[in-house]
Homo-oligomer: A and B are copies of this chain.
Amino acid sequence: MASSVACLHAASSIQAQGFKGSSTGSPNKIGAFPLRMVLKGFSLDVPLPERKGNCPRSLNLHVVRSSSSQSSIADPIELPSNSNSTDSQKKSTEASLILIRHGESLWNEKNLFTGCVDVPLTKKGVEEAIEAGKRIRNIPIDMIYTSSLIRAQMTAMLVMSEHRRRKVPIIIHKETEEAQRWSQIYSEETKMQSIPVITAWQLNERMYGELQGLNKQETAELFGKEKVHEWRRSYDVPPPNGESLEMCAERSVTYFRDQIVPQLLAGKNVMIAAHGNSLRSIIMYLDKLTSQEVIKLELSTGIPMLYILKNGKFIRRGSPIAPSEAGVYAYSRSLALYRQKLDKLEEMFE
């Protein structure tokens, strides 16, 4: 554990408790104690080791991520601690990937099976999207992918309305030649200030076939409780005329691999706003989960999940903390530097 350290710039949101005086009652001594942030179903363990002499104002953090009831562990960050490294490292192979599951929809509220029926968000779902946006306002985003359903698209737009960078998300229209022509932008500078938003049915929620629109009670009466449970919780048994989780995973992971990974490899920071099943399929791919593990995986609504793609590997960074909460902000050096730049920019305009 001692060898893998990440040297991070101290960000203002880190409340360095016990830095100058710890709860143990011995001032000026920094003890090692683990910080534990527990989020809905996801926890982040950050032990603070003793302060080393030659590391100036930065904290040495050893970050290990574990999920609570799930069996996957992402690899710890391996960065050569190099005080002189600048942006060049970031430019090489690092990119952020944010996953956001949309919040409450009007049929969630009514307890109806939704699937691919295009139902919008409730007021609560709108709130959840705004809150999610606050959590990721400092993480760079160059491209957005979303499904063809309005609840995911609205979530993406509301999230971006909180973003600090002020680039404008623009939905790309390619459904017909006319749509493409009609939505053309004629200013290069404006294009540079845009974040393309690509809608893809492959990121849609799992299609629930003949259960769509039925409430959970009448479905149990119609088909029997065990059958319904099997459709909902198995990996490869589809409801009548619907998709199994396996089928959903196949089309969403294929899309992710073919369309989104190349963007990340090119260094683009990507956000995906989608649905429970399409996102857990992608997480299954990122974290190399088994089908048994993915069934138990629950991604919280409205809480963004951050991954870093580095040197071809996906590292789960957990869920960015809301601004009012104490905790670690910088998940990597480049993100810390990025945030510094944003801070400077804001100062200039104040």
Contacts and interface: CB of A to CB of B under 8 A. Distances in A.
Given A120-B151, A175-B213, A184 B202 contact: yes
Interface stretch (A66-74, A85-93, A109-117, A304-312): A109-117
**Most B-side CB within 10 Å, residue of A147, A154, A171, A201:** A171
- Give this chain's copy count: 2
A153 interface: yes
B111 A176 contact: no
Nearest to A210: B176
A302 interface: no
A327 B12 CA distance: 50
A2 interface: no
A100 interface: yes
Interface residues of A, number: 84
Interface stretch (A31-39, A159-167, A262-270, A277-285): A159-167
Nearest to A188: B203
Contacts of A177: 112, 213-215, 218
Nearest to A172: B116
Given A168-B97, A172-B116, A204-B172, A138 B213 contact: no
A293 B160 CA distance: 25
A202 B186 contact: yes
A173 B118 contact: yes
A190 to B, nearest CB: 4
